[in-house]
Structure 1
Amino acid sequence: MSEEQAHKTLSDAGRKVLSEVLGESYLARRDATNNDFWAPVRAFSEEFAYASLWTRDGLDRKQRSMITIAMLCALNRPHELKIHLVGALNNGCTKVELREIFTHAIAYCGFPAAIDALRVAEDVLKEQGKF
């Protein structure tokens, strides 16, 4: 298999997982805004994050979502948190589980990070009809 074929295979696998986790509409919006500036990062995301990491044994998608949103809370990355909260809901996380992740984060990330994450989560839950 050529290097180009290998990248295509990984990209296709990653895009499948990405659409299952974050949704077809997210993938369509992402594709519509792709350009030569973003393309390398997005390709790496498809091949590494979604084709390789999200498909590993040992954790299911719900667990991976919970870990991801906890890390994004700790890093105070609201844009990515919003995207991955939708993914967490798609992967079966409940409103209560999300609340508890951010409540638990108070001890390890501090009140400001946890409160910011709760605000983002509340907006996403409202948008998704789950609040």
Structure 2
Amino acid sequence: MADTPASDTFTTGMKTRRSVLGNAHVDRAESNKTPFDEPFQTLITEAAWGRVWTGTHWTKRERSMVTIALLAALGHYDEVAMHIRATANTGATAEDIREALMHVAIYAGVPAANHAFKIAKATLAEMETAKP
């Protein structure tokens, strides 16, 4: 990939991305990166992780709940599962997830929330099974 030095925002973003999603996820994403999608990976690392997720007004727990609700409302279910797994690192609880999805039902529609609940239940069960 490119040999340009990482910006401070990228470096901060990568640290935050790892703290939320975990090293295994980020390492996998980085190893799958190609010259084609490298600019996109840089964009999300700098913008989402280096700017939005590093803001100081909300906690990672709060950002996690909002992110899950938005992704569910928009029907981005693969991302919902990924961010539910990330709650192990953000401090959002199963109850927090439930409440976020209840908001989705009221403000974005029952079908979106229904499918997100299905994904959340499966992902939380998977996480419980994986506990040591």
TM-score, normalised with respect to structure 2:
0.88
CA distance in 1, matches of 2:128, 2:36: 34
- Check if 1:52 corresponds to 2:51: yes
- Check if 1:24 corresponds to 2:23: yes
Structure 1 segments of 4+ aligned residues over 3 angstroms from their partners: none
- Check if 1:33 corresponds to 2:28: no
CA distance in 1, matches of 2:11, 2:98: 34
What one-letter code is carried by the residue in structure 1 that aligns with 2:123?
A: V
Shift of the alpha carbon at 1:119? 1.1
What one-letter code is carried by the residue in structure 2 that aligns with 1:94?
A: T
The gaps in structure 1 that reach 5 residues or longer are none
What one-letter code is carried by the residue in structure 2 that aligns with 1:18?
A: R
Q: Match for residue 11 of structure 2?
A: 12
What one-letter code is carried by the residue in structure 2 that aligns with 1:119?
A: K
CA distance in 1, matches of 2:30, 2:93: 28
Shift of the alpha carbon at 1:32? 1.5
- Check if 1:62 corresponds to 2:61: yes
Shift of the alpha carbon at 1:54? 0.9
What one-letter code is carried by the residue in structure 2 that aligns with 1:110?
A: G
What one-letter code is carried by the residue in structure 2 that aligns with 1:125?
A: L
Q: Once the two structures are superposed, what CA deviation does each residue of 1:46-104 show, in whole Å capped at 9, x if it has no partner?
A: 11111111111211111111111111111010011111112233211111121121123
The gaps in structure 2 that reach 5 residues or longer are none
TM-score, normalised with respect to structure 1:
0.88
Correspondences of 1:111-130 after superposition (within 5 Å): 111-129=110-128
CA distance in 2, matches of 1:123, 1:80: 14
What one-letter code is carried by the residue in structure 2 that aligns with 1:61?
A: K
* CA-based RMSD: 1.5
CA distance in 1, matches of 2:7, 2:57: 26
Stretch moving more, 46-55 or 101-110: 101-110
